[in-house]
Amino acid sequence: MQAGGAMIKKKTSCIKYTKWGYIFLIPFFLVYTVFSLIPLISTFYNSFFENYMSGLTQVGPNFVGLANYNGLFENTNLLKFTQNTLIMWLMGFIPQICVSLLLAAWFTNIRLKIRGKQFFKVIIYMPNLIMAAAFSMLFFAIFSDIGPINDLLMRLGILDEPFRFLSSVGGTRGLVALMNFLMWFGNTTILLMAGMMGIDVSLFEAAEVDGAKAFEIFRMITMPLLRPIFIYVLITSLIGGIQMFDVPQILTNGSGSPNNSSMTLIMYLNKHLYSKNYGMAGALSVILFICTAVLSLLIYFKFTKKEN
Amino acid sequence: MMEKERSGVAGLKIKRALIHIVLILLTIICLLPFYILLINSTRNHVDIQKGFSILPGKAFLKNFQNLMSNPNLPVLRGIFNSFIVASGSAVLTTYFSSLTAYAIHAYDFKGKKTIFTFILMIMMVPTQVSALGFVDLMRDMNLTNNFIPLIAPSIAAPVVFFFMKQYMESALPIEIVEAGRIDGAHEFRAFNTIVLPIMKPAIAVQAIFAFTSSWNNYFIPSLILDKKDMKTLPILIAQLRSADFLKFDMGQVYMMIAISIFPVMIVYFLVSKSIVQGVALGSVKG
């Protein structure tokens, strides 16, 4: 990597200073072990035990092998909540990726000379930093039956009577998706822009000389070269989607109403944690861990393979 | 090229106009909820129930006073608690992530590559999946209703570490450190006096990210804190949501949301440029 002289210098200093590399890593690994690794192992361990409160009596902990997992899979709830989570994620992600691709393509196209680019970037990224709990509470207030949005829609003549967003499945899921969309499309736009700006401009110029249309250029040049970032965005968003909690939890007050249609996997986990059903909570955590681990490994190999 | 451009000028103009309309619409969608929030936090309960308004009311101070003196919601205490937890996390995470990144960046030692890979691997593990063991352990260590479990874990933040490492690769040539060594600087002192000042821009960006994500965090704090005096803002918001909504003074509800949202928003707008750059630079965020 470096010239010969520097190599030798580095080597001699290495022997003397190597121990400092280890010393500086101590805080990270100490804290990681105490606050993440041990809890993770203990969560796995708990998943093999029957351990819950039945009324006021504590049941367990008794070793039950995979009974908690069987219990989870036998119950239709897990499937239903997985579906809910994925549906709400998709309802937010599809418009998010479309809008972000479009915006990123516009912002990076010098010929369009878009005004106030920096301003738009600042505005669209802003919702990402907003407290999800407060954002959700805000939506709960403004989309309530007599709230300002219903009032606005009626005054504009779009609605004749208030639409009860939180009593309808589509309304509730739609609001969750809308909030997720608003919170993440700015972030995605910025990531995609970074990817697009990395593409060699001469490729576009060559295509233009060959008479390619804007959409053709986008499909044949931008998209293939953007693939790694696109996959990265897709998978990290999915991992984020699996963790969906604050927004639906506050919006529905933890009930996942109407009729459990907006109950997500983490809300389900939270329920088990509060009712102190540690066996079930453990098994659910392990399942979620495996899902995210598989997705993360996909990214990891995708990117390390590219480098080699 | 030139001819083509000229013939397409009219088309380009229409396209540009359309794009700007779309951008303005998106801006409105992004800002409308916050505009309603701002307006409604200045109106009293009766006015708010009348519906949407473009103009602000006159009840801002009154809503604020009512909320502050609400005995069921210790908001002032909540702001204080949130602030302590968020700034504690921001300081610890930036300092120790820089230190960890420096260890990987500046030293050559056995197992360095494995350690680096390991940190990258754990980056994506959500905190929720170990929440059960975490809460259990904190209970055993007698750390519930304590801020330590909310602040200390930020010392091991793989995402911040990764950002710092990226930044060091572009901004911290190893020669600078070696020059310090020749001057006889102790390794730890060299980190504090030479490396940290160079890292300032990265630290500033990550401090803001860490502060906001801790300020906004709801899942773990709600499992650790249940004493009234220890609650942070997101927990108070959830409490407000679970209270019987119709009995509530909507002026106070909007004021409470405003207090949770607007401080972060103001800070963001002040330093937005470096934040937006930071997002692209780190390219890894929650």
Whether residue A151 contacts residue B51, with contact meaning beta carbons closer than 8 Å, is answered with yes
Which of B14, B36, B60 is at the close of a domain? B60
- pLDDT at res. B246: 59
Q: How far apart are CA B59 and CA B41, in angstroms?
A: 8
- The reply to whether B130 and B167 lie within a common domain is yes
Tell me which of B18, B211, B257, B271 to substitute to probe the interface with A (most A C-beta atoms closer than 10 Å): B257
Reduce the DSSP state of residue B156 to 3 states and report it. Answer: coil
Tell me which of B28, B110, B128, B206 to substitute to probe the interface with A (most A C-beta atoms closer than 10 Å): B128
Nearest to A126 by CA among B114, B159, B32: B32
B30 touches chain A (CB under 8 A): yes
- Exposure of A107 by Cβ count < 10 A (0-12 exposed, 13-18 middle, 19+ buried)? buried
pLDDT at B32 over 70: yes
pTM metric for this prediction: 0.89
pLDDT at B1 over 60: no
Of the pLDDT bands very low, low, confident and very high (cuts 50, 70, 90), residue B101 is very high
Asked whether residue B65 is domain-assigned, the answer is no
Of the pLDDT bands very low, low, confident and very high (cuts 50, 70, 90), residue A62 is confident
B20 touches chain A (CB under 8 A): yes
Angle at B285 between CA B283 and CA B286, to 5 degrees: 155
For residues A130-138, average pLDDT: 95
Find which of A79-83, A256-260, A302-306, B2-6 is predicted with most confidence, using mean pLDDT: A79-83
Tell me which residues of chain B, numbers 56 to 95, contact chain A at a CB-CB cutoff of 8 Å. none
Asked whether residue B254 is domain-assigned, the answer is no
Higher pLDDT pick, A20 / A54: A20
pLDDT at A10 over 70: no
For residues A81-108, average pLDDT: 94
What secondary structure does DSSP assign to B44-92, as a single string? -HHHHHT---SS--S-HHHHHHHHHT-TT--HHHHHHHHHHHHHHHHHH
Asked whether residue B248 is domain-assigned, the answer is no
**Measured between CB atoms, which of B156, B269, B272 is closest to A31?**
B156
Domains in chain A, CATH or no CATH each: 4-63 (no CATH), 70-307 (1.10.3720.10)
**Does the predicted interface ipTM exceed a cut of 0.85?**
yes
Asked whether residue B284 is domain-assigned, the answer is no
Q: How far apart are CA A298 and CA B169, in angstroms?
A: 25
Nearest to A34 by CA among B143, B224, B110, B114: B143
- The reply to whether B161 and B235 lie within a common domain is yes
B152 touches chain A (CB under 8 A): yes
Q: Which residue intervals of chain A are DSSP H helices?
A: 4-32, 38-46, 67-74, 76-108, 117-125, 132-142, 148-155, 169-197, 201-209, 214-217, 223-242, 246-251, 265-274, 278-307
**Measured between CB atoms, which of A43, A137, A187 is closest to B129?**
A43
Q: Which range, of A56-65, A112-121, A238-247, B74-83, averages the lowest pLDDT? A: A56-65
Asked whether residue B47 is domain-assigned, the answer is yes
The region that residue B216 occupies, defined by phi over 0 for left and psi between -120 and 50 for alpha, beta otherwise, is alpha
Residue A274's identity, in one-letter code, is Y
Higher pLDDT pick, A226 / B93: B93
CA-nearest residue to A106 within chain B is B19
User: What is the residue range of B34's domain?
Assistant: 2-60
Q: Do A296 and B240 touch (CB under 8 A)?
A: no
A98 touches chain B (CB under 8 A): no
- The reply to whether B30 and B83 lie within a common domain is no
What SS3 string covers A121-181?
Answer: HHHHHHHHHCCHHHHHHHHHHHCCCCCHHHHHHHHCCCCCCCCCHHHCHHHHHHHHHHHHH
pLDDT tens-digit series, residues B152-201: 999 999 999 999 998 898 888 888 888 877 777 788 888 898 899 999 98
Q: At what angle do helices B75-106 and A4-32 cross, to 10 degrees?
A: 150
Q: Do B51 and A146 touch (CB under 8 A)?
A: yes
- The reply to whether B98 and B238 lie within a common domain is yes
Q: Do A120 and B102 touch (CB under 8 A)?
A: no
Long-range contacts of A150-155 (CB under 8 A, 24+ apart): A151/B51, A151/B52, A152/B51, A152/B52, A155/B51, A155/B52
pLDDT tens-digit series, residues B121-131: 888 889 999 99
B40 touches chain A (CB under 8 A): yes
Q: Do A151 and B285 touch (CB under 8 A)?
A: no
- The reply to whether B144 and B8 lie within a common domain is no
- The reply to whether B158 and B27 lie within a common domain is no
Reduce the DSSP state of residue A61 to 3 states and report it. Answer: strand
- pLDDT at res. B72: 83
- The reply to whether B136 and B38 lie within a common domain is no
B134 touches chain A (CB under 8 A): yes
- pLDDT at res. B93: 96
Asked whether residue B91 is domain-assigned, the answer is yes
- The reply to whether B32 and B82 lie within a common domain is no
- The reply to whether B87 and B219 lie within a common domain is yes
Distance, in angstroms, between B12 CA and closest chain A CA? 7
Q: Percent of chain B scored above 70 by pLDDT?
A: 94
Which of B32, B60, B88 is at the close of a domain? B60
Residue appearing with tokens 């921001």: B90
The tokens describing B31, both together, are 């800002």
Whether residue B260 contacts residue B233, with contact meaning beta carbons closer than 8 Å, is answered with yes
E strand segments, chain B: none
**Measured between CB atoms, which of A122, A127, A140 is closest to B241?**
A140
Q: Which range, of A122-136, B96-110, B138-152, B168-182, averages the lowest pLDDT? A: B168-182
- pLDDT at res. B265: 92
The 10 Å Cβ neighbour count of residue B262 is: 16
Angle at A157 between CA A152 and CA A158, to 5 degrees: 80
- pLDDT at res. B2: 52
Asked whether residue B258 is domain-assigned, the answer is no
- pLDDT at res. B7: 55
Whether residue A35 contacts residue B126, with contact meaning beta carbons closer than 8 Å, is answered with no
Tell me which of A8, A46, A125, A126 to substitute to probe the interface with B (most B C-beta atoms closer than 10 Å): A126
**Measured between CB atoms, which of A28, A186, A293 is closest to B155?**
A28
The 10 Å Cβ neighbour count of residue B23 is: 21
Tell me which of A19, A22, A35 to substitute to probe the interface with B (most B C-beta atoms closer than 10 Å): A35
Distance, in angstroms, between A199 CA and closest chain B CA? 15
- pLDDT at res. B8: 67
pLDDT at A305 over 80: no
The 10 Å Cβ neighbour count of residue B110 is: 10
Of the pLDDT bands very low, low, confident and very high (cuts 50, 70, 90), residue B110 is confident
**Measured between CB atoms, which of A14, A17, A130 is closest to B264?**
A130
Q: Which CATH number does the domain housing residue B215 bear? A: 1.10.3720.10
- Exposure of A306 by Cβ count < 10 A (0-12 exposed, 13-18 middle, 19+ buried)? exposed
Please report which helix (H) or strand (E) contains residue B109, including its range: none
Whether residue B224 contacts residue B144, with contact meaning beta carbons closer than 8 Å, is answered with yes
- pLDDT at res. B136: 92
- pLDDT at res. B284: 42
pLDDT at A3 over 60: no
Higher pLDDT pick, A102 / A16: A102
Nearest to B124 by CA among A232, A44, A281, A183: A232
Reduce the DSSP state of residue A19 to 3 states and report it. Answer: helix
pLDDT tens-digit series, residues A151-169: 999 999 888 888 999 899 9
Q: Do B237 and A289 touch (CB under 8 A)?
A: no
The tokens describing B108, both together, are 């050559």
Asked whether residue B280 is domain-assigned, the answer is no
pLDDT at B69 over 70: yes
pLDDT at B43 over 50: yes
The tokens describing B278, both together, are 């930071």
pLDDT tens-digit series, residues B208-222: 999 999 999 999 999
- pLDDT at res. B283: 52
Residue appearing with tokens 């680019």: A117
Long-range contacts of A65-69 (CB under 8 A, 24+ apart): A67/A279, A68/A279, A68/A280, A68/A282, A68/A283, A69/A283, A69/A286, A69/A287
pLDDT at A5 over 60: no
- The reply to whether B37 and B117 lie within a common domain is no
Please report which helix (H) or strand (E) contains residue B222, including its range: helix B219-224
- The reply to whether B91 and B56 lie within a common domain is no
For residues B43-69, average pLDDT: 88
Dihedral (C-alpha) A300, A302, A306, A308: value to the nearest 10 degrees? 50
Exposure of B98 in the CB half-sphere (CA atoms within 13 A): 26
b or e along A138-155 (b: 16 or more beta carbons within 10 Å of the residue's beta carbon)?
bbbbbbbeebbbbbbebe
Which residues are within 8 A (CB) of A127 and not within 5 positions of it... i.e. 6 or more apart? Answer: A135, A182, A183, A186, B30
For residues A181-196, average pLDDT: 92
- The reply to whether B54 and B146 lie within a common domain is no
The tokens describing A78, both together, are 């897990």
- State how many domains chain B has: 2
